[in-house]
Amino acid sequence: MSYISISKAAMSAGSNALIRGWIHRKRESGGIIFIILRDVTGLIQVAVKRDLVAEKSWKSACDATVESSVEVEGIVRGDKRSPTGYELGATSFRNIEISDPFPITEYQSAELLLDKRHLWLRSQRMMAAMKARSYIFRYARDFLDRRGFFEITPPILTKVGGETGSNLFETDFFGSKAYLTESSQLYSEAMVFSLEKVYSFAPSFRAEQSRTTKHLAEYWHLEPEMAYYDNQKSMLLQERLVSHIADRFAKDHGDILKEFGVGKDNLLKIRPPFKKISYESALQMLNEKGFGLKWGDDFGVEHERTLTEFEEKPLFIYNWPKEIKPFYMPINPKDERTVLCADMQAPMGHGEIIGGSERIWKFDELMERMKEVESARGIKFNMHNYQWWIDLRRYGSVPHAGFGMGIERVIKWMLNLDHIRDAIPFPRMSNRLEP
Ligand code: 4AD
Ligand code: MG
């Protein structure tokens, strides 16, 4: 007989089934052992009755502990008393491997669950989150693949910073200094001059001390880059991408959303167009609410929350002051205090999920802007390390734009998680590198 999944077994009441999985819960009552068995597809109650199985099966069921791996053959029946609605009446029971006493019991601190992350990943909650993660990766790729994008694979070890440059993890590379990439953008840019529309989906690293509920030291970064796109066209692509992910997820996996207490409708509402406001008007809105921000101030968690807590859809904030954005963004010809860029904020205060911009594509303009940034910020670019990237502006350059989406931020928002750490299996944060 071949194994069937628990969800299939639950659909075949009356028939004989062979299933395997892990023991989620176990209790004994008057010659019957009740086990809730888990596999990737779901849970089912198994009843092992002393008088209905061979002595060997009964003994195995007695010995089995929580999280033991087991296989059971039996007859499926609908049973209203079973917490799963179905019960497998065992005819035979075998342990694959008996588990040591499981270190996670019902009420545990968040710290312990992080220490035991390798085991906590078996919880219903983490299983649902990890499935969501995989689907969201898939939907994002599907969307871009169908629009003629090529997935590219950037290097992780690099000599250049793409963003602030100040949050880089440094490492030794055969005796010289290297960094873990903070963004693959510069490499994606190189590839639009051949493949035109590309994306990388890779880890980015940020040595940020900030211990917030939305910062990871290592996160997965989806970075599309498009030849001939401007900031407007890029925003249209972004809102379609985010809507596509929300729509597919809500339509196909309402069950996962339910696990997190999120209604499908929240995500089905995410349809283009999204609201688009300038930095200047966002600043004004915040100051009307009493924040007292000055032109040029960046927005923090509180500001982001205030701007989006009553929004149902994500919100774009475009044309930020040049002082607080990276060196590769072009000055806005209509207002030279700003650059041609936009950030996408998730609704309900979840914060920034996308940062994107046009790129300076002309050699002279880039050299001038890099000099300006050096003197305004009191920094010195190592021009030798950036030479290859600057070079791209010398050989048939074209206008281009791109953006970066933090996939864990998207998961946090869509599942309405309190903390970003549950959007990634093994979170790396300033205070955590294990397991
Ligand atoms: O806004 P950022 O820094 O932009 C860039 O890195 C650009 N080079 C992207 C590009 O244009 N190709 O980061 C982009 C996104 C943010 O909007 C956020 O969603 C996510 O990356 N992000 C983080 N996610 C988790 N933990 C962190 N520490 C993050 N820092 C940024
Ligand atoms: Mg940003």
Which domains, and CATH codes, for the chain?
6-97 (2.40.50.140), 115-423 (3.30.930.10)
Nearest to 193, CA basis, from 155, 227, 229: 227
- In degrees and rounded to multiples of 5, residue 96 shows phi and psi of -80, -50
Residue 221 has pLDDT above 70, yes or no: yes
Q: Tell me how far apart the alpha carbons of residues 338 and 320 are, in angstroms, rounded to a whole number.
A: 5
Give the residue whose CA is nearest to atom 4 of ligand 1.
Answer: 355
Q: Tell me how far apart the alpha carbons of residues 335 and 357 are, in angstroms, rounded to a whole number.
A: 16
The band of 368, judged by pLDDT with boundaries at 50, 70 and 90, is very high
* Residue type (1 letter), 150: F
Pairing, β 351-358 against β 400-406: antiparallel
From 144, 192, 206, the mutation candidate for ligand 1 (largest count of ligand atoms within 8 A of CB) is 206
**How confident is the model over 332-337, as a mean pLDDT?**
98
- Per cent of the chain over pLDDT 90 is 93
Both tokens of residue 343?
């950030």
For the segment 344-367, what is each residue's pLDDT rounded down to a tens digit? 999 999 999 999 999 999 999 999
For the segment 121-155, what is each residue's pLDDT rounded down to a tens digit? 999 999 999 999 999 999 999 999 999 999 999 99
pLDDT of 107: 86
Give the residue whose CA is nearest to atom 20 of ligand 1.
Answer: 406
Residue 403: nearest ligand to its CA?
Answer: 1
Contact call for residues 292 and 320 (beta carbons, < 8 A): no
Q: Tell me how far apart the alpha carbons of residues 320 and 331 are, in angstroms, rounded to a whole number.
A: 10
pLDDT of 396: 97
Q: How many CB atoms lie within 10 A of CB 366?
A: 21
Q: Tell me how far apart the alpha carbons of residues 149 and 139 are, in angstroms, rounded to a whole number.
A: 14
Residue 165 has pLDDT above 80, yes or no: no
From 133, 160, 183, the mutation candidate for ligand 1 (largest count of ligand atoms within 8 A of CB) is 183
CA distances from 284 to 78, 289, 295, 303, 305 (A): 60, 9, 10, 12, 15
For the chain, the maximum distance between any two Cα atoms, rounded to a whole number of angstroms, is 86
For the segment 38-79, what is each residue's pLDDT rounded down to a tens digit? 999 999 999 999 999 999 999 999 999 999 999 999 999 998
**How confident is the model over 314-320, as a mean pLDDT?**
98
Give the residue whose CA is nearest to atom 28 of ligand 1.
Answer: 215
Nearest to 397, CA basis, from 310, 328, 299: 328
Contact call for residues 3 and 71 (beta carbons, < 8 A): yes
Is the C-beta atom of 403 inside 6 A of ligand 1? Answer: yes
Q: Tell me how far apart the alpha carbons of residues 99 and 76 are, in angstroms, rounded to a whole number.
A: 26
pLDDT of 164: 65
Is the C-beta atom of 163 inside 6 A of ligand 1? Answer: yes
Both tokens of residue 431?
């205070």
Is the C-beta atom of 354 inside 6 A of ligand 1? Answer: yes
- In degrees and rounded to multiples of 5, residue 325 shows phi and psi of -125, 160
pLDDT of 9: 94
Is the C-beta atom of 427 inside 6 A of ligand 1? Answer: no
Pairing, β 315-318 against β 275-278: parallel
Residue 80 has pLDDT above 70, yes or no: yes
Give the residue whose CA is nearest to atom 11 of ligand 1.
Answer: 403
- Which ligand 1 atom sits nearest the alpha carbon of residue 403? 11
Burial class (CB in 10 A: 0-12, 13-18, 19+), 115: middle
* Residue type (1 letter), 205: F
Show the 3-state SS of the chain: CCCCCHHHHHCCCCCEEEEEEEEEEEEEECCEEEEEEEECCEEEEEEEEHHHCCHHHHHHHHHCCCCCEEEEEEEEEECCCCCCCEEEEEEEEEEEECCCCCCCCCCCCHHHHHHCHHHHCCCHHHHHHHHHHHHHHHHHHHHHHHCCCEEECCCCEECCCCCCCCCCEEEEECCEEEEECCCCHHHHHHHHHHHCEEEEEEEEECCCCCCCCCCCCEEEEEEEEEECCCHHHHHHHHHHHHHHHHHHHHHHCHHHHHHCCCCHHHHHCCCCCCEEEEHHHHHHHHHHCCCCCCCCCCCCHHHHHHHHCCCCCCEEEECCEHHHCCCCCCECCCCCCEECEEEEEECCCCEEEEEEEECCCCHHHHHHHHHHHHHHHCCCCCHHHHHHHHHHHHCCCCCEEEEEEEHHHHHHHHCCCCCHHHHCCCCCECCECCC
* Residue type (1 letter), 51: D
Q: Tell me how far apart the alpha carbons of residues 307 and 274 are, in angstroms, rounded to a whole number.
A: 14
pLDDT of 83: 82
Average model confidence (pLDDT) across the chain: 96
Q: Tell me how far apart the alpha carbons of residues 99 and 122 are, in angstroms, rounded to a whole number.
A: 14
Is the C-beta atom of 196 inside 6 A of ligand 1? Answer: no
For the segment 238-249, what is each residue's pLDDT rounded down to a tens digit? 999 999 999 999
Nearest to 426, CA basis, from 217, 246, 254, 270: 217
- pTM of the predicted protein model: 0.96
Residues with CB under 5 A from ligand 2 (ion): 355
- Which ligand 1 atom sits nearest the alpha carbon of residue 343? 17
- Which ligand 1 atom sits nearest the alpha carbon of residue 182? 6
